[in-house]
């Protein structure tokens, strides 16, 4: 076994490899870019070497610098993780040529899978089922059109040297073929430098099922059963599980045998994944072999009890596979989802920025967290914005799904937007719960997984009560250390001169503001929202758990609070809100009686619609302010003449700043 290895990667996979190495007593060397100087994989490794600038081309894709770092630190092997150089045949060969072990397959095996067209031909020759299609070198439009007509529609155009969902088009009619072909070729040329394509019959409503394979250098090859990855968005996996709810024992055996044949056909060694598509009738077809460890490998680890990174290390060190095929057992059910810094409501736009707060479930025998960042870390624009992988295990699939939902409810993130709420809705959707989702379902029905436009009133009440209780607790704390704890100003009963117990609050939810007026204290309140009053009794907030009765119905919420951010969860629904300064609305009779119109909140003036000397009517817009991505129109509280305009577009103002004076 190796005594020291270098990990040519970053983030959660680098941290995951470090964990196994530490358990086995193997020292680790991390490599990092300037952007990752304070990253977790750098902090956790025994040594770390700077590669270069923040762009991958200047750091994690510099194979020569990585090999030099391995030599300089005395590393005996290099683990590539996934992504970056993990499937680069030239890099694998260069590592071996430098006298260092590559923890993965040979460059020769990778090259056999480097072309989708060549891979299909090789698999067909080995007796592995492939989708009917065309993989020839003649790429003339006439030939491709003729082959498309022969294959039939719908069909898929795929970049022969592509991956990651790029360079793929589904065509439903011959008349559309040339336009889609040209589009696919342009994308392939831009993404991969080559525009060769292949054509395949498009399998409608397919399942995506992959088989984990392992082989050593002693002639042994086996599989570790399947993972189903049919929940996808734009060909990117969203939820992975094992075992598949779709496979029968006979189909599982047939696919496992085919995967072993596929690995043997390319003289494979180490960890790999053979990916298949499966039609609704159970016919399966080879898609590709991923010549590396997969992101979703923990799913297989939880149901087999094996450490696949340890197996990788042992095989790369020349040892035989630790087990034979008949010794592989599968127990229970495991599911994985990936927590990303991304905004599902903005087309899953990747996010970046400081993780002000990150709350994840406590790891247990049933819940596993594979993460690469902690609170305070920076999610940069240069790399994949994955925060962590959440993997759960249960005795059966319903139990695993229940544990997944419960674990997601424990997650909270402040900083960049996240996909946590999206994953919760996914885990509750009937297509997932019933095990009938196919690879195109999410793209066809994405609106079913988006949040409701409005926030339910019970969640609004819960958020308001949580803030009220926190205010009272804070006041009691201040009174305890006050020099005059008996002062009436230190009593947290909500009483104020002129309006006993009147406690205004304001919140922002999905760029919409709503105001609350509450009366009461010590867990007993009347909460007014949008003209309705909600009586609250018995409210208590202890260790992040809010218990209360609304209209005599008992409710329970988990509460995460960070600064102005409040996250409320009732076990099924999540509400994320920002607290805002409460203010009096700018309207007749409430303000402006003395002719002054004040800023209702801190913010920026974006539009000014009046000027000094203008005659204005009651309710007329005078200017528009923006704060926290929300726009608010400031209106005249009464008719009059603008005597003075004290702000201009672009000005930043504090709350209660005088904006306009009316005669």
Which phi and psi angles does 613 have, rounded to 5°? 95, -15
Sheet of strand 155-159, all strands in order from the earlier edge strand to the far edge = 133-134, 197-201, 155-159, 168-171
The DSSP call for residue 466 is H
The CA distance from 375 to 359, in Å, is 8
Burial class (CB in 10 A: 0-12, 13-18, 19+), 497: exposed
Task: Return the bridge partners of 27, or none.
Answer: 4
Per DSSP, the three-state class of 534 is: strand
Count of other CB atoms within 10 angstroms of residue 614: 14
Torsion angle defined by CA atoms of residues 292, 294, 300 and 306, in that order, rounded to the nearest 10 degrees = 50
In this structure, are strands 412-414 and 357-359 parallel, antiparallel, or unpaired?
antiparallel
Burial class (CB in 10 A: 0-12, 13-18, 19+), 593: exposed
Peptide bond into 154 cis (omega under 30): yes
Q: Pick the catalytic residue: 292, 425, 503, 574?
A: 292
Over its C-alpha atoms, the chain yields an Rg (Å, rounded) of: 30
- Cα distances from 156 to residues 159, 181, 202, in angstroms, run 10, 10, 5
The DSSP code sequence of 227-268 is EEEEEEETTEEEEEEES-SS--HHHHHHHHHHHHHHHHHTT-
Q: Are 119 and 268 in contact (CB under 8 A)?
A: no
Decide if 314 is catalytic: no
The CA distance from 469 to 505, in Å, is 12
Angle, helices 308-316/11-24, rounded to nearest 10 degrees: 70
The CA distance from 456 to 534, in Å, is 13
Q: Are 405 and 384 in contact (CB under 8 A)?
A: no
H-state helical runs in 419-538:
420-428, 430-433, 441-444, 457-481
Helix, strand, coil shares, percent, the chain, to 5: 30, 35, 40
Give 134-182 as a 3 state SS string: ECCCCCCHHHHHHHHHHHCCCEEEEECCCCCCCCEEEECCHHHHHHHHH
Q: Are 69 and 31 in contact (CB under 8 A)?
A: yes
The CA distance from 576 to 561, in Å, is 10
Q: Could you report how far apart the first and last alpha carbons of the chain are, in Å?
A: 87
The CA distance from 156 to 169, in Å, is 6
CA 317 to chain centre: 35
Per DSSP, the three-state class of 183 is: helix
User: Which residues are the active-site residues?
Assistant: 292
């Amino acid at each position: 076994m190796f005594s020291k290895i270098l990990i040519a990667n970053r983030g959660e996979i680098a941290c995951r490899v470090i964990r196994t190495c530490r358990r086995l007593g193997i020292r680790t060397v991390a490599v990092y870019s300037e952007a990752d100087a304070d990253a977790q994989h750098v902090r956790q490794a025994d040594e770390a070497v700077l590669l270069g600038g923040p762009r991958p081309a200047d750091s994690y894709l510099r194979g020569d610098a990585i090999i030099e770092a391995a030599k300089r630190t005395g590393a005996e092997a290099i683990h590539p993780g996934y992504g970056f150089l993990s499937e680069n045949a030239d890099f694998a060969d260069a590592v071996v040529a430098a006298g260092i072990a590559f923890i993965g397959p040979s460059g020769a095996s990778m090259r056999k899978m480097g072309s989708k067209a060549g891979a299909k031909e090789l698999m067909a020759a080995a007796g592995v089922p492939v989708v009917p299609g065309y993989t020839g070198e003649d790429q003339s439009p006439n030939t491709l059109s003729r082959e498309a007509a022969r294959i039939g529609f719908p069909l898929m155009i795929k970049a022969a040297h592509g991956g990651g969902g790029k360079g793929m088009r589904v065509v439903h009619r011959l008349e559309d073929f040339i336009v889609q072909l040209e589009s696919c070729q342009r994308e392939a040329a831009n993404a991969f430098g080559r525009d060769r394509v292949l054509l395949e019959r498009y399998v409608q409503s397919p399942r995506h099922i992959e088989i984990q394979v392992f082989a050593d250098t002693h002639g042994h090859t086996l599989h570790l059963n399947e993972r189903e990855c049919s929940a996808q968005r734009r060909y990117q996996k969203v939820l992975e599980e094992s075992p598949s709810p779709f496979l029968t024992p006979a189909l599982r055996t047939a696919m496992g045998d085919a995967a072993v044949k596929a690995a043997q056909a390319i003289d494979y060694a180490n960890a790999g994944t053979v990916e298949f598509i499966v039609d609704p009738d159970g016919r399966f077809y080879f898609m590709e072999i991923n010549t590396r460890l997969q992101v979703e490998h923990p799913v297989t680890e939880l149901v087999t009890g094996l450490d696949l990174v340890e197996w990788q290390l042992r095989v790369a060190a020349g040892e035989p596979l630790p087990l034979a095929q008949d010794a592989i057992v599968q127990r229970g059910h495991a599911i994985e989802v990936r927590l990303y810094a991304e905004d599902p409501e903005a087309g899953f736009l990747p996010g970046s920025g400081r993780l002000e707060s990150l709350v994840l479930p406590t790891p247990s025998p049933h819940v596993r967290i594979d993460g690469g960042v902690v609170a305070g870390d920076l999610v940069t624009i240069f790399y994949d914005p994955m925060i962590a992988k959440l993997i759960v295990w249960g005795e059966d699939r319903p139990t695993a799904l229940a544990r997944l939902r419960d674990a997601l409810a424990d997650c909270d993130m402040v900083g960049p937007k996240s996909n946590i709420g999206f994953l919760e809705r996914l885990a509750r959707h009937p297509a997932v719960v019933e095990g009938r989702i196919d690879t195109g379902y999410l793209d066809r029905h994405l609106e079913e997984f988006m949040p409701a436009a409005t926030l339910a009133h019970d969640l609004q009440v819960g958020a308001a009560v949580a803030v009220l209780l926190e205010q009272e607790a804070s006041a009691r704390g201040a009174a305890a250390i006050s020099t005059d704890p008996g002062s009436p100003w230190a009593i947290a009963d909500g009483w104020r001169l002129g309006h006993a117990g009147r406690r205004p609050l304001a919140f922002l939810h999905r760029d919409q503001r709503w105001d609350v007026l509450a009366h009461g204290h010590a867990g007993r309140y009347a909460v007014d929202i949008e003209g309705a009053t909600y009586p609250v009794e018995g409210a208590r907030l202890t260790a992040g758990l809010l218990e209360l009765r609304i209209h005599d119905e008992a409710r329970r919420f988990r509460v995460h609070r960070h600064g102005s951010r409040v996250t409320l969860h009732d076990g099924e629904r999540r509400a994320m809100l920002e607290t805002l300064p409460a203010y009096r609305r700018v309207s007749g009779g409430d303000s402006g009686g003395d002719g002054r119109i004040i800023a209702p909140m801190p913010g920026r003036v974006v539009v000014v619609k009046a000027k000094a000397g203008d005659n204005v009517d009651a309710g007329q817009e005078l200017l528009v302010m923006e704060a926290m991505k929300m726009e608010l129109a400031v209106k005249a509280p009464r008719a009059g003449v603008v005597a003075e305009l004290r702000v201009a577009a672009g000005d930043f103002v504090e709350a209660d700043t005088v904006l306009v004076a009316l005669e």
